[in-house]
Amino acid sequence: MTDYSDLRAIYVNCTLKRSPEASHTQLLVDRSVAVMEKQGVTVEQVRAVDIDTAFGVYPDMTEHGWSSDDWPSVQSKVMAADILVLATPIWLGDKSSICTRVIERLYGSSGILNDRGQYAYYGRVAGCLVTGNEDGIKHVAMNVLYSLQHLGYSIPPQADAGWIGEAGPGASYGDPVNGAGTGFDNDFTNRNTTFMTWNLLHLARMLKDAGGIPAHGNQRSEWDAGSRFDYPNPEYR
Amino acid sequence: MTDYSDLRAIYVNCTLKRSPEASHTQLLVDRSVAVMEKQGVTVEQVRAVDIDTAFGVYPDMTEHGWSSDDWPSVQSKVMAADILVLATPIWLGDKSSICTRVIERLYGSSGILNDRGQYAYYGRVAGCLVTGNEDGIKHVAMNVLYSLQHLGYSIPPQADAGWIGEAGPGASYGDPVNGAGTGFDNDFTNRNTTFMTWNLLHLARMLKDAGGIPAHGNQRSEWDAGSRFDYPNPEYR
Amino acid sequence: MTDYSDLRAIYVNCTLKRSPEASHTQLLVDRSVAVMEKQGVTVEQVRAVDIDTAFGVYPDMTEHGWSSDDWPSVQSKVMAADILVLATPIWLGDKSSICTRVIERLYGSSGILNDRGQYAYYGRVAGCLVTGNEDGIKHVAMNVLYSLQHLGYSIPPQADAGWIGEAGPGASYGDPVNGAGTGFDNDFTNRNTTFMTWNLLHLARMLKDAGGIPAHGNQRSEWDAGSRFDYPNPEYR
Amino acid sequence: MTDYSDLRAIYVNCTLKRSPEASHTQLLVDRSVAVMEKQGVTVEQVRAVDIDTAFGVYPDMTEHGWSSDDWPSVQSKVMAADILVLATPIWLGDKSSICTRVIERLYGSSGILNDRGQYAYYGRVAGCLVTGNEDGIKHVAMNVLYSLQHLGYSIPPQADAGWIGEAGPGASYGDPVNGAGTGFDNDFTNRNTTFMTWNLLHLARMLKDAGGIPAHGNQRSEWDAGSRFDYPNPEYR
């Protein structure tokens, strides 16, 4: 049996509802978190809308005119974690505005390098969870996962999962209908959430054991110093 | 020094131009391929528009009414490779139609399982290269990388690279302007292509050495047989 | 009562299935077409996959090395119509590859101007219909409608409609389940399809009566000749 | 000469920078606004990040637990205008988080009907302006324009315009380079902005003169009361 108990994960729920209001998305987060905690993973959770987060793309916006900005405390938790899961509801087919803001703030630290000269997000894995009453899991997931891999996260197989209902307004995830939580027995949602969670664990384990992504051909510091890692300079044609 | 010489990669160029017409996208593919070949990787290349590919989402469309379909030969090469790179031009801000078709055909084999009951694409890594005269690398890449991870590929850090010019019509990648190939000296394009290529190598090496993604919590066959891998069944609320 | 009987519409069904194979998407097209025909509109229908369409972005690819290309006959029908509706299934959350190709070919005529110097597509209206077994109407529609307005079509209110089921595999639109066609009674799908159809009629009527979009400030020919239509040239700052 | 002086427009700049910090996006907004004002249009401008806007999808979030919410004052201006232009910068290839929030809040009023039973946004036109240092105008525009037409806006031809530079970091729109504002002389940007602006004027004029979109086949109130406007109910197949 593989030991995952040294791993740390952070789930950022990007619901528009502040605590303690109930979040449908949280219900799906709970199920993924339960699998991780069963393996002994230390799981941190943040509800982004509860945080006083400034607008902008710098690590700490108090250095750029904002009187307060609690994002740096979240960023510290993100950097302490091997696994990041962004969870979001869907509005008009898109991720929530607080999810967009979280991505902007993550992007604000994209220039930071680790001690090997790689982007600091390297060596971590990411996934995403999406719920809505209809339409948009894939659209949201392609945007979220793209941003995270662009920052330096590795994306394991099938790192997106979610629940939506049939076209049109209707119950949201977990809403009680006929004595059961809507979507709770959706085999596709449950299977994808399970596979996503385990694949995050597997790839995080692998990367942690390897000490991250090997540092060759991908160090910003080396590139800027002139290394080209066999990348050819084409003849003029 | 790590040995990559047992790895196999396939690059599928989704230009709309048939051979032997020149493809701008091919010029960027060439540079990434050169890095791989320098490490001894066996690289296969396919120009998708040259292949007689049927429409549909089954592995072999000749079994579904089409008189010919050469996709299965490409699919064999894809499954023989540890690394897949889809390369595409941009039209109206989107990937090419032959790129969409390639993804549909890859999707046609998404139900196939390996001998451990995982989706057959597991254990492989993917990236994408995009060129256009303006606008769309990220939009195209988020769609392509999403599809590939959804099929079972792992996506290493920063697995997208490309070149586009300033807003508006203009030279395409490699077009001669003032005695130089357009974009050939773009530091961002060159760096991203280099980092993508090396990160594909690193993660492919890691996965191959590990015998793929560990088979627990992600076997479709086990799930269908009733295993739930600690995924909780919530109480009604 | 408004008379719509001088209007012409064309519906291009971008199913991957060739005639006479049944297309789920066609079932939704049928309903929208029925409304138009009831008003006396002349409706042309094309199933794109049945047409021998070359790859490329020129009006007639036989002038660019292809031995055959039947797209120009479709393009003539498109230009004869006041209303264009693209209909497509969803694969991996995206429009079909033949839909992408149709858009590429429409784009191939985007440089053609009308006799007032406007882009030739001006004065026409467009909408889209989307069906899938789950997830993607909005993602597909935003891409399709964007492309069409970019070419010069006007988009009336709520010009997208479609049907999808709950997350996961399942019945497609019209599949018989318990003695009824799947989705046939979906109020949201039916309402949106109705509203889309009527809004296409209303805006087409309005544009036809006005002789198209007024020719001022939007003539490519005038712009190229130096007219700037009050667009200011900012001082350097 | 057509008279546009009874028209009202509102431009919402979704820069992440608060006043009075300079916004690159504003520089492009200024040029479009200048054309409108030259025709006597009354133009309102809002910088969204300056407004105390709550999270949520209700018209007034103070009725849902938020202690303050200044969005309703913006919404009033939106409803007073015939023309809405959303302007946004690009971050990681996507619209800004405040732009996403503006769309969520506009969506919050999507259920409101006019006195004919149509969605209240009907009869208005919309466009969008996008700036970034590289990549994403079309991706952003397809999302923004989709949302606005879905709410009930009409989209005239070529209702998106913007400026981006070559792939990679670089100057933003208007940044001084060699004594000139970056992008100020980009013919494509200038032409598209001009055409967008005039097409907004033309379609707004047409809709206003017609008293909005004709009320038949698109009234939510009538639909809910049972009218079907010739929409057929298919036989079971």
- Averaged pLDDT for residues C23-32: 98
pLDDT score, position D236 = 56
pLDDT at A16 over 70: yes
Give residue for tokens 């996962």: A145
Percent of chain A surpassing pLDDT 90: 97
Residue D59 · residue D109 · CB < 8 Å: yes
Return the closest-CA partner of residue D149 out of C153, C181, C79. Answer: C153
- pLDDT tens for each residue of D91-140: 999 999 999 999 999 999 999 999 999 999 999 999 999 999 999 999 99
Q: Which residue does chain B place closest to C101, by CA atoms?
A: B97
Count CB-CB contacts under 10 A for residue C205: 20
Q: Does D89 touch chain C (CB under 8 A)?
A: no
Is residue B1 in some structural domain? no
Q: Does D207 touch chain A (CB under 8 A)?
A: no
Chain D positions touching A168 (Cβ under 8 A) are none
CB nearest A143 (choices: D55, D57, D94):
D94
How far does B229 lie from chain A, in Å, by closest CA? Answer: 7
Q: Does B137 touch chain D (CB under 8 A)?
A: yes
| Average per-residue pLDDT for chain B | 97
> Do residue C154 and residue D157 have CB atoms under 8 angstroms apart?
yes
Q: Does B212 touch chain A (CB under 8 A)?
A: no
| C-alpha to C-alpha distance for A199 and C123, rounded to whole angstroms | 52
- pLDDT tens for each residue of B51-82: 999 999 999 999 999 999 999 999 999 999 99
pLDDT at C104 over 90: yes
| Average per-residue pLDDT for chain C | 97
Alpha helices in chain B (DSSP H): 24-38, 71-80, 97-107, 137-151, 187-209, 220-224
| C-alpha to C-alpha distance for B195 and B161, rounded to whole angstroms | 9
- Averaged pLDDT for residues D208-236: 94
Percent of chain D surpassing pLDDT 70: 99
> Do residue C38 and residue D230 have CB atoms under 8 angstroms apart?
yes
Cα end-to-end span (Å), chain D: 56
pLDDT score, position D33 = 98
Give residue for tokens 């525009």: D141
Beta bridge partners of D13: D47, D87
Give residue for tokens 């049996």: A1
Is residue C61 in some structural domain? yes
> Do residue C167 and residue A187 have CB atoms under 8 angstroms apart?
no
pLDDT score, position C236 = 56
| C-alpha to C-alpha distance for A137 and A143, rounded to whole angstroms | 10
> Which CA distances in Å does A4 have to A125, A203, A210, B91, D134?
14, 11, 14, 45, 40
pLDDT at D162 over 60: yes
What six digits make up the tokens of B28? 């960027």
Count CB-CB contacts under 10 A for residue C236: 9
Tally of domains within chain C: 1
- Averaged pLDDT for residues D35-61: 98
Which residues, including other chains, have CB under 8 Å from residue C87's CB and lie 6 or more apart?
C11, C12, C13, C14, C15, C25, C26, C28, C29, C128, C129, C130, C131
pLDDT score, position B22 = 97
Q: What is the CATH number of the domain that holds A184?
A: 3.40.50.360
Band the pLDDT of A234: cuts 50, 70, 90: confident
pLDDT score, position C1 = 84
| C-alpha to C-alpha distance for A108 and A126, rounded to whole angstroms | 17
Residues spanned by the domain of D160: 8-224
Q: Does C129 touch chain D (CB under 8 A)?
A: no
- pLDDT tens for each residue of D52-84: 999 999 999 999 999 999 999 999 999 999 999
Is residue B189 in some structural domain? yes
Cα end-to-end span (Å), chain B: 56
Band the pLDDT of D1: cuts 50, 70, 90: confident
Q: Is the dihedral of CA A168, D70, D156, C206 positive or negative?
A: positive
B236/C122: higher pLDDT? C122
Is residue A230 in some structural domain? no
pLDDT score, position C32 = 98
- Averaged pLDDT for residues B180-191: 96
pLDDT score, position B234 = 82
What six digits make up the tokens of A28? 């799906």
pLDDT at C202 over 90: yes
- Chains B, D: CB contacts under 8 A, how many? 65
pLDDT score, position A236 = 55
Q: CA angle at residue B132 from B128 to B138, to 5 degrees?
A: 50
C97: left (phi over 0), alpha (psi -120 to 50) or beta: alpha
pLDDT at B178 over 90: no
CA dihedral C93, C98, C100, C104 (to 10 degrees): 180
Chain A positions touching D147 (Cβ under 8 A) are 92-94
- Averaged pLDDT for residues C41-63: 97
Which residues, including other chains, have CB under 8 Å from residue D127's CB and lie 6 or more apart?
D83, D84, D85, D86, D145, D155, D156, D159, D160, D161, D196, D197, D199, D200
Give residue for tokens 């972005």: C57
pLDDT score, position C179 = 86
Chain B positions touching D137 (Cβ under 8 A) are 93, 135, 167
| C-alpha to C-alpha distance for A18 and A16, rounded to whole angstroms | 7
Alpha helices in D45-186 (DSSP H): 71-80, 97-108, 137-151
ipTM above 0.95, yes or no: yes
pLDDT score, position C234 = 82
Q: CA angle at residue A51 from A50 to A56, to 5 degrees?
A: 135
| C-alpha to C-alpha distance for A98 and A35, rounded to whole angstroms | 26
- pLDDT tens for each residue of D199-214: 999 999 999 999 999 9
pLDDT at A227 over 70: yes
pLDDT at D4 over 60: yes
pLDDT at D179 over 90: no
For residue C200, the surrounding DSSP H or E stretch is helix C187-209
DSSP A180: E
Q: Does A139 touch chain B (CB under 8 A)?
A: no
Q: Does D166 touch chain B (CB under 8 A)?
A: yes
How far does A127 lie from chain C, in Å, by closest CA? Answer: 18
| C-alpha to C-alpha distance for D129 and D237, rounded to whole angstroms | 47
Is residue B27 in some structural domain? yes
Q: Does B57 touch chain C (CB under 8 A)?
A: yes
- pLDDT tens for each residue of A138-156: 999 999 999 999 999 999 9
- Averaged pLDDT for residues A27-54: 98
- pLDDT tens for each residue of B110-127: 999 999 999 999 999 999
Is residue A52 in some structural domain? yes
How far does D35 lie from chain A, in Å, by closest CA? Answer: 31
> Do residue C218 and residue D27 have CB atoms under 8 angstroms apart?
no
| C-alpha to C-alpha distance for A62 and D51, rounded to whole angstroms | 19
- pLDDT tens for each residue of C163-178: 999 999 999 999 999 8
Is residue A235 in some structural domain? no
pLDDT score, position B179 = 86
CB nearest C231 (choices: D158, D194, D203):
D194
Is residue C56 in some structural domain? yes
Helices (H) and strands (E) in chain D, counts: 6, 8
Chain B positions touching D189 (Cβ under 8 A) are 167-168
